[in-house]
Homo-oligomer: A and B are copies of this chain.
């Protein structure tokens, strides 16, 4: 049993420092767009990554991919992927890095009987640039830890497929989590939500 009084005290106690988030235990109030978006991205583990396909005449090409935005207590909001150029998505990105990544709340089981397209069943599309991360960088190490922790079988994917870490550099956010159209949400608000000093969103 969680001591709610202690929890509330910890929440009230915090300063508005910015940083990586600890896990967000329950679905945030939809009015809080940054918390709502970060909850959805940190909790989910797969989505559809969209690139521009040169093979298909410049069509937008969606592909089911797994991702992670950090270990559960180090969520960054930035989706990292483990891709191979044997697959069109990575090849597309290396030619044209325009991309978006789309995640639905539906697979989390928190939408109940509502339709996946019901506006109260959250969905987010992060648009930006899909970039290869230097495999020797600290960021790649962080991303591999995050990915392998959430997707244990990735560690054993065939070495000769040459999987590499990619990230989405987010430039625009489209979030629907309630009636009334997309929630206004800047990249800055999303990447640096106000958190208290134990890392929970205020």
- Report A's interface with B, CB cutoff 8 A: 45-53, 56-66, 86, 88, 98-102, 104, 106-107, 114-118, 123, 125, 127-128, 151, 153-154, 171-172, 174, 181
| Contact B102 A62, beta carbon cutoff 8 Å | yes
CA distance A125 to B60 in the complex (A): 10
User: CB-CB < 8 A to A45: which residues of B?
Assistant: 116
Count of identical protomers in the assembly: 2
User: CB-CB < 8 A to A86: which residues of B?
Assistant: 181
| Contact A116 B66, beta carbon cutoff 8 Å | yes
| Contact B64 A60, beta carbon cutoff 8 Å | no
| Contact A104 B153, beta carbon cutoff 8 Å | no
User: CB-CB < 8 A to A115: which residues of B?
Assistant: 46, 66, 151, 153-154
